[in-house]
Amino acid sequence: MPDRIPDDLIALIDRFARIGATPGGGVRRLTGSAEDGAARALFADLAQARGARVAVDPVGNMFATFLTAPDATTTVLCGSHLDSQPTGGRFDGALGVLAALDGAAALFAQGIDAEHNLTVVNWTNEEGARFQPSLTGSSVFCGKYSADFALGLTDRAGVTMGDALGQIGWLGTGTPGLTPVHHLELHVEQGSVLEDSGVQIGAVTASWGVRKLTLAFTGAPSHTGPTAMHKRRDALRAAALAITRFHDRMQGETAQLHWSAARIVAEPDSPNVVAARVTVWFEIRNPDQQICTEVGDRFLRAIAADIDALGCGIEVVTDEARPGTALDPAGVRLTLEVCETLGLRATEMRTITGHDALALAAVMPSTLVFVPSVGGLSHCEDELTLPDDLRNGGAVIRETLRRLACPAEDAARARTDSG
């Protein structure tokens, strides 16, 4: 294990974990909440105290820039997100922001002779727990969504993301002010590939594809007592049937799939009224997005007659295809080289989950690095990455940042090594 990273990173993680802490050891920091605001304020204070200038853009993305190359107009972005799921863990997202802050601040304090500046990023609403879609801030930054679209997203109470961020004081007008040349992100794996193989670091090459399908099952409201059973058009019964059929069909498919029906909203949401509209969020994941599309189409065709027989209809609310995204091959090689230098076991791997690094890959070279998750657990209070693995990840990020900021120095080292 490298001894280059002190316990400062562990202390930072512990400090942020107290913001929105849950009884079971996790965190709840939904985008635009008071807890999100407190985490943002602490991040800004810590970055400024270490010498960074902080800017906030129109959707709340935060950029803490360390001028390691004051005369340059370029910068290396590094970070992740501070928002969480309702039952989030303390490492998901926060580790990437804090390892970037720890590494960039240390390099800035050393006075490295860099060609690029270093910008630590906190991307807004990566999780998509309160406002959908996820990866919102990074997707606005890379031009996939407009700021108006993102700010107009609403939660279940009808509050817009713009109003929520405005209420906690984290809507800005700034930009990084520099041209990004690379994006680097450290994240917990959220699976068990690294743990099962005994490997310490994952160099992510690409993501799986995913189809995110939101369906509304439509019926009619009526009294749950006197309404004759044969006259009911029960949307919740239709949704329940569809969910059961969905799981059965996915298990019967021959392709390698991960799937879920993880969220349901019933309207009018009264125990005495037959549900008139029930919305369900389905996901299908596979390394090949086309397979996700084909499997989803087969599911829709299979349930049509069953839902119609219940007197209900199906409305496709959203149908989002996210193809597998390739990450920068040079970044993968650099990650493996850094791990070899540090004496860490590393492997190439794919990610099943979405990350800001994947959104940024559309507009710049982007690199994603994984550290192990104990038991492969994530989005829950039991999420755990061990201290040694946290330090390993921090060491990889610091050294990778140094090499990205000083490409001429890294090229000279490579020539020496090859000679």
Sequence ranges of the binding site for Zn(2+): 81, 92, 127, 187, 379
Phi and psi, residue 393, nearest 5°? -60, -40
Q: Residue 141's beta-bridge partner residues?
A: none
Annotated binding site: 81, 92, 127, 187, 379
- What are 386's two structure tokens? 């061990």
Other beta carbons less than 10 A from residue 281's beta carbon: 17
First-to-last C-alpha distance (Å) of the chain: 28
Dihedral sign for Cα 107, 405, 93, 394, please: negative
All residues at 6 or more sequence positions from 251 whose CB lies less than 8 Å from its CB, including other chains: none
